[in-house]
Amino acid sequence: MNEVQRAKIVLKFLNKIYPTTPIPLKHRNIFTLLISVLLSAQCTDVNVNNVTKNIYPKYNKPEHFVKLGRKKIEKMIRSIGIFRIKAKSVYNLSKTLVEKYNGRVPETFDELEELPGVGHKTASVVMSQGFGHPAFPIDTHIHRLAQRWGLTNGKNVLQTEKDLKRLFPKRHWNKLHLQIIYYGREYCKARDCYGISCKICTSCYPKRKKPIKTKKA
C-alpha cells in the first residue's frame, strides 16, 4: 500500500466519523479567534475557552486590549501557560492592528505572520477557520498522526504540511485539519494507540505489530 492509498483510507474514515467539524476554540470574531489560537500554544483548548469566556463578552477588539495594557492582560490570562510572554504578544499584536490595520485582522499569510507572536501555524488557523481560505495548519498532534499513518517521513512540521497538501485535494484541507485533531484526541492518542490499535492505523498498516516511534516536530 502506498501513501496515496493510505490517504484515501484516512479521508474515508474521517469523513464518516466527523461529517461536521465545529471550531474547538470559542470566539466572537476573527480577532478573538486569532487571540485564542495564540493563547493555545502549549495549552489545551479547554483551558483557553475557560479563560476567554470571561474576557470576550467585554473585550473583543484590538482597541480593548491596547487600553487594558500588558499588566491587566497578564492578570486575565494568568492560568494559561507562559502567560507573561503571551500577554506581551496579545498587547503588541493589538497595538499593531490598531496602528497599521485600523483595528482589522489582515487577510494574507505574509501580513499575519509579521504580527507579534504569530507564526505560520497560527496564521494558517486564522486563514482557514477565520477567513475560509484553503490552509492546512500543522501542530504537533497532526505531525505525529501523519507519521503513524505513513503520510510523511516526519522531518519537521513544514515537510508534513507540504506532504499533506500534496496528498489531499485543496477542498478538503480546512475540514481535514480539524478532523485529524478530533480523531487524534479520541482514538489515536499519543500514549495509547502507538500506531497499532486504532482503526486508521490498523487499516493503513494491517501487518504492523510493534509501536511506531514518531519524530518530534
Same domain, 142 and 95: no
pLDDT at 182: 96
What is the predicted pLDDT for the residue at 164?
A: 98
How does residue 173 score in pLDDT terms, banded at 50, 70 and 90?
A: very high
Nearest CA-CA partner of 174 in 110, 118, 124, 119:
124
The single-letter DSSP state of residue 69 is -
Q: Which tens digit of pLDDT belongs to each residue from 82-126?
A: 999 999 999 999 999 999 999 999 999 999 999 999 999 999 999
**Higher pLDDT among residues 42 and 17, named by residue:** 17
Indicate the pTM of the whole model. Answer: 0.93
The answer to whether residues 65 and 111 belong to one domain is yes
Range of the domain at 151: 3-21+136-204
Does residue 194 come out as left (phi exceeding 0), alpha (psi in the -120 to 50 range) or beta? left
What average pLDDT does the structure give for the chain?
A: 96
37 and 90 in a single domain? The answer is yes
Helices (H) then strands (E): counts for the chain:
12, 0
Q: Percent of the chain scored above 90 by pLDDT?
A: 91
As for how many domains the chain has, the answer is 2
Q: Same domain for 162 and 124?
A: no
pLDDT in tens, 201-212: 999 999 999 998
Do 7 and 67 have their domain in common?
Answer: no
pLDDT digits (tens, 9 = 90+) for 50-86: 999 999 999 999 999 999 999 999 999 999 989 999 9
The percentage of the chain sitting over the pLDDT mark of 70, rounded to a whole number, equals 100
Q: What is the mean pLDDT of residues 159-169?
A: 97
User: What is the distance of C-alpha 55 from the center of its chain?
Assistant: 21
197 and 172 inside one domain = yes
CATH code (residue 189) = 1.10.1670.10
Last residue of a domain, one of 107, 130, 153: 130
74 and 46 belong to one structural domain: yes
Residue 164 lies in a domain: yes
Would residue 113 count as lying in a domain? yes
Question: Is 101 found in the same domain as 64?
Answer: yes
The separation between the first and the last C-alpha atoms of the chain, rounded to the nearest angstrom, is 25
> Does residue 189 share a domain with residue 99?
no
Q: Is 161 helix (H, G, I), strand (E, B) or coil?
A: helix
The pLDDT confidence band at residue 150, using thresholds 50, 70 and 90, is very high
**Exposure of 212 by Cβ count < 10 A (0-12 exposed, 13-18 middle, 19+ buried)?**
middle
